[in-house]
Structure 1
């Protein structure tokens, strides 16, 4: 496959006709994110490096590498992607649907996948981004970006649909608060559940709940999504 086979696009953007893996480096060894069918991208450079080209996803401005072998799964987008502002009140109304998305994801057999943003396997921020995107609210891709994007709130003001961030020297993990001291998240094998599960944010968790203890020790901050990316 060569860029010569990529048809020109009047809009300057391309649409994914299937789910596509995108990588952190041009050698296609480290998954960075996934481009769900129907999402749009822009080609940053047509130069092929180690079999990949650099692209930018339109909805969240995420830059990654696309294997030229997957160019066949792109088609010209008829129109450029245009984001629309969504009010804080509207986002609040959508929270029940966002939470339901995460429950459905949890109830589907899954495991933690670094870079995963497409069902059934997600990483922490991939699950959160996909849950909000399922109702048309786009937020940044990575957990530290989501923490910067969210409106900061104290832990005492947490309500269902808010985000909880964890980390040691920086934010490295994110979860969705469900209410009643519980949050849902996709966590890895080392200190988590190796998939999507529910844990507790305050010290009143079961004595045998080591995962909740692990993340409680790394609590960083809380935030509320009050806007979408525009």
Structure 2
């Protein structure tokens, strides 16, 4: 069965429903994969992300169908059209930064985001769907070298094996990201690729690659 959310809903990654995996913004679609006494295993249709829905939150959904999901997908965009919308993506993030916020693991709705949740929400705000997690976003984008960075490119950090953090490039070797408490800003802030402050240096030591978003994860042609 396919459902549409009537409000923002937390999605969990533990049967104890005590560990946030992501959030389902109002108006998104899901399908139920399995039913358990206390939770439903679900898949979010816009990004194919799987998680667990508290059965008490089932009342926050309305019945829908796959055709309604297809009909409500944003239109397909060319790489040039996506490029034209990048200033609006950055404006969304700047507005989120100007609003009091804290880092929230799994956060994808205002005011508290994690790193990749902020990127996903910002792109979705202008009709561009991208995957949920940083490593998925890295694989989805077109790789670019740091010498070729353009405003709106995503910059990834992590281990040699996997991206675990992402920010968006805003020019002058600076990027905006939502970072955690231990080594970050505990929220949305600006860092520099070669900055001298502790947060910039921490992430510089984990710098991986950059990627450019040139397509949307799903569009009206999706089946």
TM bin, normalised by shorter chain, reads over 0.9
1:6 counterpart residue number: none
1:107 counterpart residue number: 98
Alignment root-mean-square deviation, CA: 1.1
Report the TM-score, using the length of structure 2 for normalisation.
Answer: 0.93
1:60 counterpart residue number: 47
2:122 counterpart residue number: 131
Q: Does 1:211 align with 2:199?
A: yes
* Aligned with residue 10 of structure 2, among 21, 31, 34: 21
- Structure 1 CA distance, aligned partners of 2:212 and 2:202? 23
Give unmatched runs, 5+ long, in structure 2.
219-223
What is the deviation of 1:178? 0.5
- Structure 1 CA distance, aligned partners of 2:124 and 2:4? 16
* Aligned with residue 182 of structure 1, among 174, 180, 184: 174
Give unmatched runs, 5+ long, in structure 1.
1-11
Counterparts in 2 of 1:85-164, with a 5 A limit?
85-164=76-155
1:5 counterpart residue number: none
- Structure 1 CA distance, aligned partners of 2:18 and 2:168? 29
CA contact (8 A) 1:153 1:222 kept: yes
- Structure 2 CA distance, aligned partners of 1:28 and 1:176? 31
3-state DSSP of counterpart to 1:212: helix
Q: Please give the per-residue CA displacement for 1:126-180, whole angstroms capped at 9, x wherever unaligned.
A: 0000000001100000000001101000000101100000012421000000011
* Aligned with residue 22 of structure 2, among 29, 33, 37: 33
1:3 counterpart residue number: none
What is the deviation of 1:116? 0.2
- Structure 2 CA distance, aligned partners of 1:31 and 1:125? 14
3-state DSSP of counterpart to 1:80: helix
| Runs of 4+ deviating beyond 6 Å | none
Instruction: Provide the aligned length of Structure 1 versus Structure 2.
Output: 213
